[in-house]
Chain A
Amino acid sequence: MELIVSLGIGVLAGSGVWLLLRPRTFQVIVGLSLLSYSVNLFIFFMGWVRGGRAPIVAPGTPGSLAGFADPLPQALVLTAIVISFATTALLLVALLAARGLTGTDHVDGREEDE
């Protein structure tokens, strides 16, 4: 299970980095989204080591982390998702403005051969 999770995060992050380094703004924004997914998963699995456990202490059981998932990373990841969502929307605005003002979707605002 841990291997699958790490591989998943790794593949997402790797694709994200590759796309981030591409010259087109659309590729950059998709790359950033993939990267933020991988980071969100990373945060989430920081508090998740046992499958199928809720972050809620059942009545009558001792309140130790051995019996349930850590709720804090789940709260953190929610915050992180909301923030990356909002900032990605903001980036989209800048991207569209750049496309409109420069007439190209190259990240430098001009084609390489010009």
Chain B
Amino acid sequence: MSAAEHLVVLPIVVPLVAAALIVLVDERRYALKAAISLASLVVLSATALALLGMGGTTRVYALGGWPAPFGIVLVADRLSVAMVLLAAVLGLAACVFSLARWHRAGPRFHALLQFLLMGLDGVFLTGDLFNLFVFFELLLAASYGLALYGGGPSRVRASLHYIVINLTASLFFLVGVSLIYGVTGTLNMADLAVRIAAIAPDDRPLVEAGAAVLAIAFLLKAGMWPLGFWLPSTYAAASAPAAAMFSILSKVGVYAVLRLWLLFFAGGDGGALLAWGGMATLAFAIAGVLAAQDLGRIAGYSLLASSGTLLAAIGVGSAAAAGAALYYLIASTLGIAALFLLIELVQRSREPGADLLAVTAEAFGVDAADEPEEETGAAIPATMALLGLSFAACALLVAGLPPLPGFVGKFALLAAVLTPAPIAAPAWALLALLMLSGLATLIAMARAGMRIFWPSEERSVPRVRVIEMAPIAALIALLLALTVAAGPAMQYLQDAAHALHAPHGYIDTVLGRR
């Protein structure tokens, strides 16, 4: 094996090693822990970029050296590589943001972040159904820690619900996996695709039941109505960098549905269910966004709206729609992550007394004298103007207005849904709901923006540091770049979607039958 082939396993090994190192470091040496974490994230991003640069071939990495149906493999195709890159970029933004203050609010922020990234990369790269479960659990365990991170009653209460719901979902996952294994006798995803296609008609209902139970676990993660009620309150309660990372967690569910559904059932039955379920989610999110009183919940419901859009687009079942959905997935994940980071900075000005750090210091029993000095580090001139601009950019993105890629994604999606001449009823419903969700988000964001940036009474300007503003600015710049480079990006994702819709290439490569 050449060195380049080992690139595929790096996104899992690097965060694992980094997390282990961070756990060993004395918990007060924040600078060292941050340095390890940042170094790991830079390596991760570079790896993902290198994989991206090596073109669209599907790479298979046999972990134990055993060939595919017997050993466990990692598979890096276009979609996996894009998702790994997305996770690394988000991790980098969250990590840099946390350097200002959040990583001092508790002892293990960086270790949790690295474990979360390891789980995410594992989910995106694995080619084995049971390993998918293991990596899911890994990322969930890290996310429980991150949801609780910072402490305080509201976080603990929201996390309790989050943990119980996700533990139950994991049990569904196990039942689904074991049903599928019981009938087909394999867990390799490519091998499963072959065997499910050739299964006896008597056994088919059992496999389909297994897949349906499995789908419950994924759709719960994606927040599909009626499984998504837990999502807004958990995400609103989480600390800002954790919430930014969580914006990709619901996309993990969407990713798993997209990958497994197309692989196992070649986009057959269930498409209509996904489409209508996605639209129900969208409708629920529209109501939620309009009713939400605080910014955190608005962001949570926008996340649900993006999940709903994605599920509906996948359910439509054409490769063009899936490609557009992938573009929208990347844009909305980055945009909502930026929004979650921004919310914390903006909220700081609204509640000058009730500082979040005071709460966390109390929860951890830290003496007030130990609090890090906030005056250090450069404050930014014209803070409110900068925050306002970023807020406007996030609002445009989440609502899907030009010139940001939320618009490009939605436009491509609608173009793909509406192209065949007789337009079906779900397509019209999706069109209407997408327009409505954009409008609702815009109304909610404008209302919240006016309340914050046009204050009628005296308000203290939040003290924002460059290191907190930089990741938000970088994410927005990245989104602008994604608009400018929409052509090549869309082309890449369309190729990825076509490969998903014609899975024989994936199957042949994994099983070594080229």
Contact = CB atoms under 8 A, between A and B. Distances in A.
A95 B163 CA distance: 10
Contacts of B152: 101
B156 A101 contact: yes
Contacts of B175: 39, 42
B137 interface: yes
Contacts of B40: none
Contact of A39 (B153, B157, B174): B174
Interface string A55-89: 00000000000000000110010011001101110
A98 B170 CA distance: 22
Given A42-B175, A79-B134, A98 B167 contact: no
A47 to B, nearest CB: 8
A72 B156 contact: no
Contact of B134 (A36, A83, A88, A107): A83
Contacts, number: 91
B137 A83 contact: yes
Contact of A43 (B144, B148, B153, B178): B178
Contacts of B151: 97, 101
Nearest to B144: A90
A86 B141 contact: yes
A29 B144 CA distance: 16
Main secondary structure of the interface of B (DSSP, over half): helix
B170 A87 contact: yes
Nearest to A79: B134
Counting contact residues on chain B (CB < 8 A from A), the size range is 20 to 34
Interface string A6-35: 000000000000001000010010001001
B160 interface: yes
A32 B168 contact: yes
B137 A87 contact: yes
B140 interface: yes
B144 A94 contact: yes
Interface string B132-144: 0010010011001
Interface in A85-114: 86-88, 90-91, 94-95, 97-98, 101-102, 107-109
B261 interface: no
Contacts of A76: 130, 177-178, 181
A46 interface: yes
B141 A97 contact: no
14 contacts: A35-B171, A73-B178, A83-B137, A84-B170, A87-B167, A90-B144, A90-B163, A101-B153, A101-B156, A101-B157, A102-B157, A107-B161, A109-B153, A109-B160
Given A90-B163, A108-B157, 8 more contacts: A20-B168, A25-B160, A42-B174, A72-B187, A90-B141, A91-B163, A94-B144, A95-B160
